[in-house]
Each structure stands twice: as C-alpha cells, then as structure tokens.
Amino acid sequence: MDLMTWAGDSAPSAEGEKLFDLFRRPQGRSRPRPDERAVIESARTDELTVDGTTVVTYAWGEGPRPVLLVHGWESRASRYAKLVARLVELGYSPVSFDAAGHGESGGEGTTLLEYRAVITELHRSHGDFAAVVGHSFGALATFLSLSRGLRADRLVAISAVPDFGYLVDSFCAHAGLGPRLEDEVRHRLEHDLYPGEDMWTRFSVLHHAPLVQVPLLLIHDENDEAVGVEQTERIAGVFGDRARLVTTRRFGHRRILGSPAVVDEIVRFVTGEQSTAAGRQDEVTTR
C-alpha cells in the first residue's frame, strides 16, 4: 500500500508528520552534568560512521574486560559517569557512545537499527564484553543486537523499554491520538522509518529471550514516569531463573543511573559478588 493512498487517498497530515518525527529525532541534546565532566573528559574518544553520520565513542581503562554501556533516548554516555569510575577502579574497561543526534555525535536523530549498528561495531572492535548495561531505549537496542552476534558474560537492563509496540502504544495513549492519526503514525513508522522490518515482533526484549543464556539483572524504579515497573516484571517472568529483578524507589526514569545504590548493584552483579540490597530497603529491593 502506497503512503499516499494509505487512508482514503489522503496525504500525510502536518500533525502526523510532527508526531512521527518524535520517533526519529530527540527533542534537544542533553549536556554533561557538572559531576560527569571529569569522567567524560578522561575518556579516550574515537569516531564511527553510521549511515553517513559521525558517532562519538568513549573508552576508559586498559584492562582486558570491556563493559559496554548503552544510553537511552535523549540521553548520553556521560550519564554513566559514576558507574564508569567504579568499573575502572576495579580493572574493567568501560566502553560507550553517544548515539547519532545525541551528546557529541553528529546528525539530528537515530533509530534502533543505527543503535544496533554501533553496538555491533564496538563488539567487533573490543571483542566479547564482560557485561553490557543498557538503559531504557538502550536496553531494547542491546537485546536487538543479540541477533547480530553480540556476546557478553552478563546483561543489565535498567528501566527497559520491553518492545517497540509498548513504546508506540504508550506514546499514542499519552498524546490522546484519535484512530486516524494513530494509524497514520504507525504506518509511517512501518513504511518510512523501519521499512521491511518485522518491528512489532522482532523489536522486543521478549522476542530475543531465547538468545540470552547468561545472567540478567533487571533494575526498575517504582516511580518511573516513562516506563511502568510492570514492564520489567513482565520481562522477569519470561526469563525466570536467568534474571534477578531489583526495584528502586524515588529515582524515576532518568535519575536512576546516578544512584549510588544502583551503581553498587550493577558493580556487584558484573563482578559476581552477592547482592546486599536487602539491607537498603529504603532504596532498593531485590527479588
């Protein structure tokens, strides 16, 4: 079905175009916070070219155990500053990047497929990872990359978007879109942003669950305003004994990465140490 005839021979609407644009272009670029600058300035930076756009990559440490850190939508690598510092102290070599249209990278926007392309290239360059940590949209991109051979000893998914369908459903519901406008946005996503992709099935953490045979740590805040904690509970249910679910309080969707308690949980998981979350019930609960 041609785009110009998708709904009664009507051309895409101006409002539909504006809404569709939100799925490919972040609304502004975040800057490094004061407490992130020292860590980000200490990184070795490099560049990759993805679909003609320059993507900035970061690496720290000199050890043989790389850990990949994947940021979420409208975020940047510097949000992992506290985790980077801890991992370097322990002899790990964190690796990260600013997705196209984010942070210091070029371009105006990006897609899940471009995230996957960067992750795949970093895996090729650094070898198998001791762990991969993904936040929100970045967690979904991490699982999508498993189908392209991404390998790691452990996986961490923080505030995970469970699948692209949830992302679209939540957006349409929050925006109060009527049926026609919602259909227009969905059609544009299928035919313009991800043509030829079975996005409603394959762009899913749950779809790639059979590929995950390593320990998985799931972290989600009970007060997450962007992705409900029940979505990570869904993921935990599918993975069963392969996953450990940690819930937090008061951090929301974005502040969670800077929480010392969350950094502690990730570090213990990456190093294989026993969690002590039960002793911090005011902030963290492990299940």
- Per-residue model confidence as pLDDT tens for the chain (287 residues): 223 233 434 556 888 889 999 999 999 899 999 999 999 999 999 999 999 999 999 999 998 999 999 999 999 999 999 999 999 999 999 999 999 999 999 999 999 999 999 999 999 999 999 999 999 999 999 999 999 999 999 999 999 999 999 999 999 999 999 999 999 999 999 999 999 999 999 999 999 999 999 999 999 999 999 999 999 999 999 999 999 999 999 999 999 999 999 999 999 999 998 665 543 444 677 66
Total domains, the chain: 1
With respect to residue 281, please indicate whether it lies within any of the assigned structural domains: yes
Residues near 30 by Cβ (< 8 Å), separated by ≥ 6?
74, 75, 76, 102, 103
Q: What are phi and psi of 66, to 5 degrees?
A: -75, 145
> Angle between the 164-175 and 179-188 helix axes, to the nearest 10 degrees?
150
Residue 213's domain comprises: 61-163+203-286
With respect to residue 149, please indicate whether it lies within any of the assigned structural domains: yes
What CATH code is carried by the domain that includes residue 122? 3.40.50.1820
Name the residue with tokens 């980077």: 84
With respect to residue 253, please indicate whether it lies within any of the assigned structural domains: yes
With respect to residue 123, please indicate whether it lies within any of the assigned structural domains: yes
- Return the DSSP state at 187: H
pLDDT given at position 63: 86
With respect to residue 262, please indicate whether it lies within any of the assigned structural domains: yes
Measured between alpha carbons, how far apart are the two ends of the chain, in Å? 47
With respect to residue 37, please indicate whether it lies within any of the assigned structural domains: no
Q: What are phi and psi of 29, to 5 degrees?
A: -110, 130
With respect to residue 176, please indicate whether it lies within any of the assigned structural domains: no
Radius of gyration of the chain (CA): 19
